[in-house]
Amino acid sequence: MRLRVRFSKTGKVRFVGHRDVARIWERSLRKASLSVAYSEGFSPRPKLSFGLALSTGYESNAEYLEIELLEPADDSIWGVVEAEAMCARIDASLPAGFDVMAVAPADRRADSLQQAVTSCTWEILVDPAGADEVAAGVESLLSRNEIVVERERKGKVVTEDIRHQVLALDVTGETDDGVRLTADLGTQPRALRPDEMLAAMDPPLLARSVCRMNQWMSQGDDRIEPLSVDAAPAPLAKVRA
């Protein structure tokens, strides 16, 4: 049986790197006494599959993990009670900052999360430069036909146009701590990070905090979450001119 878990990563644990997060989950699942399946060979490893990696220092309300269990699958008996019980069982074994939001059986035949997710929604708090100034920078960025950035790939610096990956970008608020942006950024063929987008603005902006709010898969003209607390589909984001 394969389970898909949606969890959050907030607070101090945002500084825990991806590999350490994997080790935390391995220990926590043992603590929860789940019969996780292991790979074969000289160094057996628990069969865990994470979704898109989260940059160290970023928070998230939409991280995903798939767990292969030894128990045979019987989705017909899976319901609200089973989901709530599994959420509570796993959540109790995790350290502070990690919270299980939803659990459900996953289809083994489906694409991996890295392949299936096409975009992410981010909430970004930038340094307090004034909402009008930030809004002008957003408008200028979205008006470009090309947004060329330098990226390192396999030890070499390459230039790439990321304009097609900036699906939507809006100023959504202003506080004493800074100006809040909401961005929909593409993940294929390589995920666009919020800091890359901010660095491409004129003038460049610096993020005070970043939180991944959603991950999205395409389903016709809609987009759906890999495992949503609210199962209603959302309209597919369109590139703004």
CA distances from 229 to 105, 193, 239 (A): 14, 24, 26
For residue 60, the tally of other CB atoms under 10 A from its CB is: 22
Whether 117 contacts 17, CB under 8 Å: no
Nearest to 134 by CA among 195, 175, 181: 181
Give the pLDDT band of residue 235 (cuts 50, 70, 90): very low
Residue 230 is predicted with a pLDDT of 52
Give CA–CA dist 238/241, Å, rounded.
Answer: 9
pLDDT tens track for 60-72: 999 999 999 886 5
pLDDT of res. 74:
55
Q: For residues 98 and 100, give the distance between their C-alpha atoms in angstroms, rounded to a whole number.
A: 7
| pLDDT value of position 80 | 64
Print burial letters for 145-167: b (CB count within 10 Å at least 16), e (below 16).
eebeeeeeeeeeeeebebeebbb
Mean pLDDT (the chain, rounded): 87
The per-residue pLDDT for 234 is 45
Going by pLDDT thresholds of 50, 70 and 90, the confidence category of residue 75 is: low
Mean pLDDT of 140-166: 90
The answer to whether 187 touches 198, Cβ cutoff 8 Å, is no
Global pTM value: 0.88
H, E, C per residue of the chain = CEEEEEEEECHHHHHCCHHHHHHHHHHHHHHCCCCECECCCCCCCECEEECCCCCCCCEEEEEEEEEEECCCCCHHHCCHHHHHHHHHHHHCCCCCCEEEEEEEECCCCCCCHHHHEEEEEEEEEECCCCHHHHHHHHHHHHHCCCCEEEEEECCEEEEEECHHHEEEEEEEEEECCEEEEEEEEECCCCCCCHHHHHHCCCCCCCEEEEEEEEEEEEECCEEECCCCCCCCCEECCCCCC
Distance separating alpha carbons of residues 228 and 51, to the nearest angstrom: 14
- Phi, psi angle pair for 105, to nearest 5°: -60, 145
